[in-house]
Amino acid sequence: MSERWMVGFATTAAIGAALGLLYWAGAYELRLGTILAMYIALATGWNLIGGMAGYPSFATAAFFGLGAYAGTLTQVKGVPMVLAWTFAAVVAATVALAIGWIVLRLRGHYFAIASFAVVIVLREVATNWTGLTGGGMGVSLPMLQSSMLAQARLFFAAQAVLAALAVAISLFVAYSKLGFALGCIRQNESAAGMLGLDARRAKTAAFCISSAITGAAGAIYASSIFYIDPSDVFDILLSVKPIIMAMLGGAGTVAGPILGATLFMILEQTVWANFLSVHSAILGALVVVIAMFVPRGLFGRRLRRRLA
Amino acid sequence: MNVGLPDVLVQLRSRGRQATIPSVYPPIIHYATRRGQSGKDHPVTAISRRTLIATALVTPAIARRAFSQAKVIKIGAPLPLTGALAPEGLKQRRGYEIWADAVKSADGIKVGNDRVKVELAYADYESNTPRAAQAVERMITQGGVSAVFGPYGSGAVKASSTVTERHKVPMLAPTASAREVYDQGHKFLFGTLAPNDAVTVPLARFMLAAVPNLKRMAILSRNDLFPLALGQQMEQAAKQSNIEVASFQRYPIGAMDHASALTEMAATKPDWVFVTGYTNDLILVRRQMHELKFTARVITMLTGPSYKEFIDALGPLAERVSSVSWWEPVLPYRGVGPFATSEDYAKAFTARYNVVPDYGEASSTACAVVLQTAAEKAQSIEPIALRDALAGLEVLTFYGPIKFGPSGQIESQKCPIFQLQGGKRVIVAPADIRQGDLQIIS
Amino acid sequence: MIAQVLLNGLLLGGLYACIAAGFSLLWGVMNVINLLHGTLVVLGGYLAWMAFYFFGVHPLVALPAVALLVGLFGASLQAGVLGRVVGAPVLVTLVITFGLDLITRNGLLLSFGADFRTIRPSWTLGTAEVGGLKIPLDRTIAASAALAMTLALYLLLRRSWLGRAIIAVRMDRDAAALMGVRVRHAFTAAFALSAALAGAAGALLGLVFPISPLQSDGYLGTAFTVCVLGGLGSVVGAVVGGVVLGLVESIAGFALGAENASIVSFVLLILLLAVRPEGLLGRRGYA
């Protein structure tokens, strides 16, 4: 009962904050908000396959980059933005379906490595297929003619809507049969099979939904910076950060990735601004401390599993 | 606009910026409270006479400082100070610093009737392109810069130039030469490195004339923006000069081994080998060529041989490697700015940093000098006025004649072709600045 | 020309085997994927460079010292950090070693800068030419030394008490403890060995390649691929995997162009994982 109240309160607060940013904040704050929304979307997306299903996926960067390229290349051909973003999500999900057929047979470490390898392969393909992707020289988008404040608002709204969608999907999955199946898979996949669960279908569904969200985030990101190249959008850190965020907040829960993303974002921005030469060491130390002392996440134990 | 951010974040942000006016008052009050004989810590009553006199003496100095602080031109300089491109970022920084110091000792730059102080705002974007764009945006919206010096390399400039274009702030890029960087129709982007075809076309013509019976060449390019663009330009220039391109290979970023590419190239028996990449790649390629006993009559590498690191790392293997540069210390130009001639610049640079400047450093200084000239001409430090002045500028500097074409890229530059002979860069073309002849590798 | 390509591949393969042997040990024995491995290799390279630059010592001579230092570093990491999370889920150890990797890399970057260091010994053996085949002798020596060290590891594991203790712990931890094996020490020893081998590989690689913190990702990726190819739980597997990878990369680079060589090796990795995850020679335990 009190949980529902907390959720309702949190949702209202979040919507309020988003609207507040939209109406009163300047371009810089909006940009920060956009990054936060993107992080929330990515962490929530990863959580579906990595947290709920227990499959430690490092493929986030692969689908992010894929979405970025799919979105950009269609936009270059004249497709309107929102349509391009949706197309990117569809492309990411389709590729996930194909790759998942091979990669989801593996478990544990092997799955992690395979997902990591997928990132590298896609990155190299993007770099070498110069005819399609411009190769190492990247792709540029024509600049929008509106004011920078209007643009900042547009992209913030887009990422925020995506983040909200991702959380909604996550909630829906958590309470559905799919969520139950994923939980069983996470705990003991063989036993789950004995219960009559089609583990294959469940895993693939989670993987595809996760990559669709990630792909859309990538496409919106690409539209907002107007120029992408393979090493930027297929950066392995894009795979690792959502994992850390979800772990920080509590992998497997719905609110965990959101809280983890927010906390991580604050830490990242303050560290980057103030400790230039040692920032990656600090990030690393943070990561180690989190993994060692709070592997279930800050909120993983206190709030109930399914909801928070 | 600083609406809506909690105080602590605002404070944390402002700590990153350099303080412009040193706070003098708090120490005085602190001094006063400590020395207060009455034992009470009240700042007003505890001010002793000594302190009052001290304050009276110091105030005019503060006032003068505060007054002269009024006119400052802030220039943003995002650089890769850490990460893969850190060495290049540091070079760019040196180029700016030496100009900033010269300007400081001349008491600022002349804008109209004022002398305006120069303040460079650095930010480290960790060799990560999206961060570069973010850093530029931060400098413009939070830092109040009037102009931005471009980040290192074509990719980062291309990405962050969209930011400066949107905010209508001029960007001067000292280290971006690919035409693709300037093809987005940006009005606020300027570059002081001539486009790649200004390098490759004269190079092909020169080699054709200088090397007897030059029929075939092989090209090996690194697979990212600038080196690949350069390689493709070379291919086109070769075709124009009727040189057959027997092999065009690309190697991935971070490649550790070039043996297969080199083996294949060797099989085509080229007269001329042309390799693009960054210093580290080129060192590795040259070493492996030697290991595989692969040699050609001409070996040209861009952009390594311009740097001391290349010569040091390779030793005797660097002999007779040719290259093209955008500036050399021996160029005969004399122009405006704190450094009248190339020689003056080289001397000042060597005196300060103990190393002869290369074209990247010179280009960075040139950007700064050009900005200074534009500010003087426009008699303003407003971004749009600066931009208009830059667009119409035509000036001679130690770096050579500077005039920007319609895309913003410099179109007045002649690129010297040189060869490493005896560990030194010897210019072999163009004819008016020639120092020696090209030596064929036997 | 095909012979030259094969030779290039073999020489590369020897070095790859050495990079991967330590990684395979850790994965096979402790079920820990050490994302720090590539950086340990680079650390070894830097130590060798320092030995060369400050003391004029050739990397081959500095090898034992370098291995020892990196091994000690590894042991301290294990005792201090990783030892506390033995048996934790996959993700936790992956993330911890990733964090340690960030810290170490930052440290290297601060100490040495991102500039590449090259070791240029005054005596180089040059290149021998046998019937049109060009054999770079420095590389050959480095590859041979790498294989020799891998062999040493094999012997150590098979013949020495320490080696058998490590294998016993992998097979059955509790039974090993009952047999009088101090499990914690076995783990520390395994990590130390793995790190020492990585450092030694780095020193040898320093003879051939420029050294920089940026190379560590490449070495890590290589270690992964070799382990998957050759199979965990086998030193011989690491050697076979290394050689096969070297040959595959060399041939793929020759046939498809240098830029596609890594695609081929990673696609191979994925396919192998799907079809035969235990690799060419894998089996449980470590021998």
Please, which chains are in contact with B (at least 3 CB pairs closer than 8 A)?
A, C
Ranking B13-27, B299-313, B332-346 by mean pLDDT, the lowest is B13-27
Residues 6+ apart with CB under 8 A from A38: A159, A162, A163, A217, A220, A221
What confidence score (pLDDT) does residue C233 get?
A: 65
* Residue B15, pLDDT above cutoff 50: no
Ranges A90-99, B13-22, B391-400, B413-422: which has the least confidence:
B13-22
Q: How many CB pairs under 8 A join B and C?
A: 97
Distance CA C188, CA C181 (A): 13
Name the least confident of B221-225, C225-229, C231-235: C231-235
Instruction: Give residue for tokens 């081998």.
Output: C197
Q: Considering CB atoms only, which of C84, C90, C270 is closest to A118?
A: C270
pLDDT (tens digit per residue) in B54-68 = 444 444 444 444 444
Q: How many other C-beta atoms can be found within 10 angstroms of the C-beta atom of residue B48?
A: 13
Maximal C-alpha separation, chain B: 96
Low-confidence ranges of chain A (pLDDT < 50): 302-308
Q: Give B361→chain C minimum CA distance, Å.
A: 17
Give residue A301's pLDDT. 53
* Nearest beta carbon to residue B254 from set C4, C218, C257: C218
Whether residues A26 and B2 touch (CB distance < 8 A) is answered with yes
**In B, which residues are within 8 Å of A127 by CB distance?**
223-224, 252-253
Return the pLDDT at C123: 67
Candidates A121, A125, A239, partner chain C, best to mutate (most C CBs within 10 A): A121
Q: Is residue C235 part of a domain?
A: no
Task: Report pLDDT for B296.
Answer: 92
* Tokens describing residue B23: 């706070």
Long-range pairs for B417-420: beta carbons < 8 A, 24 or more residues apart: B417/B202, B417/B203, B417/B206, B417/B322, B417/B323, B417/B324, B418/B305, B418/B322, B418/B323, B418/B324, B418/B325, B418/B328, B419/B320, B419/B321, B419/B322, B419/B323, B420/B305, B420/B311, B420/B318, B420/B319, B420/B320, B420/B321, B420/B322, B420/B323
Instruction: Give residue A66's pLDDT.
Output: 96
Nearest-CB residue to A148 (from B167, B180, B253): B167
Q: Give the Cα separation of A55 and A46 in Å (integer).
A: 10
Chain B segment 367-386 residues within 8 A of A by beta carbon are none
Domain annotation covers residue C225: no
Residue B37: pLDDT over 60: no
pLDDT in tens, B248-260: 999 887 777 888 8
Domains along the sequence of chain B with CATH: 5-69 (no CATH), 72-194+330-403 (3.40.50.2300), 197-325+416-433 (3.40.50.2300)
Which residue among C90, C107, C110 places its CB closest to the CB of A108?
Answer: C90
Buried b (16+ CB within 10 A) or exposed e, B349-387: beeeeeeebbbbbbbbbbbbbbbbbbbbbbebbebebbb
Sorted by sequence, the CB contacts under 8 Å of residue B387 that are 6+ apart come out as B168, B170, B187, B188
Which chain A residues are within 8 Å of B82, Cβ to Cβ? Answer: 276-277
Cβ-Cβ contacts under 8 Å, B280 against chain C? 116, 210, 212
Give residues with Cβ within 8 angstroms of B199, minimum separation 6: B177, B230, B233, B302, B324, B415
- Give C254 to chain B, closest Cα distance, Å: 5
pLDDT of residue B10: 40
pLDDT at B7 > cutoff 70: no
For strands B417-421 and B321-324, give the pairing: antiparallel
Q: How far apart are CA C1 and CA C245, in angstroms?
A: 19
CA–CA gap between residue C72 and residue C86 (Å, rounded): 19
Nearest CA in chain A to C259: A128
Residues of chain B contacting C127 with CB distance shorter than 8 Å: 290-293
Give the distance from residue B256's alpha carbon to the nearest chain A alpha carbon, in angstroms: 15
Which chain C residues have a beta carbon less than 8 Å from that of B264? Answer: 1, 254
Confidence at residue C208, expressed as pLDDT on a 0 to 100 scale: 81
pLDDT at A41: 96
Which domain covers residue C176, as residue numbers? 10-116+136-213
Average pLDDT rounded to a whole number, residues C137-146:
85
The number of residues making up chain B comes to 442
Mutation target to probe the B interface, by most B beta carbons within 10 A, among C41, C116, C117, C263 is C116
Query: Could you read off the pLDDT of B307-337 as tens digits, one per residue?
Result: 888 888 888 889 999 999 888 888 888 888 8
**Chain C interface test: which of A103, A106, A120 (most C C-beta within 10 Å):** A120
CB atoms near residue B1 (< 10 Å) = 12
Taking a C-beta distance cutoff of 8 angstroms, is the pair A125, A99 a contact? Answer: no
Residues of chain A with C-beta less than 8 angstroms from the C-beta of B229: 137
| Whole-number percent of chain B with pLDDT over 90 | 33
Facing A25 at nearest CB: one of B3, B15, B224: B3
What are residue A65's DSSP bridge partners? none
Predicted pLDDT of residue A40: 96
pLDDT in tens, B179-189: 888 888 899 99
- pLDDT of A57 reads 93
* C159 burial via Cβ count (<10 Å: 0-12, 13-18, 19+): exposed
> How do C133-136 and C127-130 pair as beta strands?
antiparallel
The two three-digit tokens of residue A257, written as one number:
């990735």
Is residue C280 predicted with pLDDT exceeding 90?
no
A247 in reach of chain C (CB within 8 A)? yes
Coil, strand or helix: which one is A42? Answer: helix
> HSE (CB half, 13 Å, CA atoms) of C156?
17
Contact present, A254 and A46 (Cβ < 8 Å): no
DSSP states of B240-302 as a string? Answer: HTT-EEEEEEEE-TT----HHHHHHHHHT--SEEEEES-HHHHHHHHHHHHHTT---SEEEEE
Give the H/E segment covering residue B211.
none
Of C100, C106, C267, the CB nearest to A278: C106
Query: Does some domain include residue C282?
Result: no
Per-residue pLDDT tens for C173-200? 788 888 888 888 888 888 999 999 999 9
Question: Structural domain tally of chain C?
Answer: 1
Chain A residues touching residue C103 (CB < 8 angstroms): 280-281, 284-285, 288
The answer to whether the peptide bond before residue B383 is cis (omega within 30 degrees of 0) is no
Which of C34, C39, C81, C106 should be substituted to probe chain A, the one whose Cβ sees the most A Cβ atoms within 10 Å?
A: C106
* ipTM entry: 0.79
pLDDT the model gives residue B60: 46
Residue of B nearest to A221 (CA): B130
**What one-character-per-residue DSSP string does B296-351 give?**
-SEEEEESGGGSHHHHHHHGGGGTTEEEE-S--TT---B-BSS--BHHHHHHHHHH
**What are the structure tokens assigned to C208, written together?**
């051939």
- Say if CB B156 and CB B83 are below 8 A apart: no
Contact A287 C271 (CB under 8 A): no
Q: Do the beta carbons of residue B349 and residue B98 sit within 8 Å?
A: yes
**pLDDT score for A209:** 96
Of A195, A172, A213, which is closest to residue A38 (Cα–Cα)? A213
CB atoms within 10 A of CB B41: 11
Percent of chain C with pLDDT over 90: 14
Residue type, position A285, single letter: A
Predicted pLDDT of residue A305: 46
Secondary structure element (H or E) that encloses residue C122, with its range: none
CA distance B356 to B345: 10
Residue C18 within any structural domain of the chain? yes
Report d(CA C29, CA C31) in Å as an integer. Answer: 6
Q: Do A29 and B3 touch (CB under 8 A)?
A: yes
Gap between the Cα atoms of C57 and C62, Å rounded: 6
Mutate to test the interface with B, among C5, C112, C115 (most CBs of B within 10 A): C115
Q: Can you spell out the DSSP letters for B388-412?
A: HHHHT-EEEETTEEEEB-TTSBB-S
What is the pLDDT, as a whole number, of residue B66? Answer: 41
Of residues C88, C95, C263, nearest to A243 (C-beta): C95
Q: Where are the alpha helices (DSSP H) in C56-182?
A: 59-80, 90-112, 137-159, 161-171, 173-178
Return the pLDDT at C121.
72
3-state class percentages of chain A: helix first, strand second, coil last, to nearest 5: 80, 0, 20
Q: How confident is the model at residue B363 (pLDDT cuts 50, 70, 90)?
A: very high
Radius of gyration of chain C (CA): 18
Cα C229 to Cα A230: distance, rounded to the nearest angstrom? 27
* pLDDT (tens digit per residue) in A77-94: 988 999 999 999 999 999
Asked, for residue C3, whether it belongs to a domain, the answer is no
pLDDT at B436: 87
**Interchain contact, B264 vs C254, CB within 8 Å:** yes
User: Is the distance from CB of A252 to CB of A300 less than 8 angstroms?
Assistant: yes
Chain C residue with the nearest C-alpha to that of A297: C92
Reported confidence tier of residue B9, pLDDT bands at 50, 70, 90: very low
State the DSSP string of A108-151.
HHHHHHHHHHHHHHHHHHHHH-HHHH-GGG-EE-PPP-S-HHHH
Alpha carbon distance B283, B287 (integer Å) = 6
Which has more pLDDT, C213 or C35?
C35
**Cβ B366 vs Cβ B174: under 8 Å:** yes
- Contact at CB, C12 and B259, closer than 8 angstroms: yes
Q: Is residue C186 part of a domain?
A: yes
Contact: A278, C267; criterion CB under 8 Å: no
Q: Where does the pLDDT of residue B36 fall: very low under 50, low under 70, confident under 90, or very high at 90 and above? A: very low
Taking Cα atoms as reference points, which of C261, C255, C246, C244 lies closest to residue C9? C246
Q: B72-79 and B147-149 as β-strands: parallel, antiparallel, unpaired?
A: parallel
Q: Which of residues 96-135 of B touch A (CB under 8 A)?
A: 124, 126, 128-130, 133-134
Give the C-alpha distances (Å, rounded to integers) separating C160 from A177, C169, C234.
54, 14, 16
In a domain, C272, yes or no: no
Closest by CA to A190, choosing from A107, A78, A134, is: A107
Q: Helix (H, G, I), strand (E, B), or coil: what is residue A156?
A: helix
| pLDDT higher than 90, residue B138 | no
Residue of B nearest to A267 (CA): B9
> Mutating which of B258, B291, B308 best tests the C interface, going by the most C Cβ atoms within 10 A?
B291
Residue C130: the pLDDT is 78
Nearest CA in chain C to A282: C103
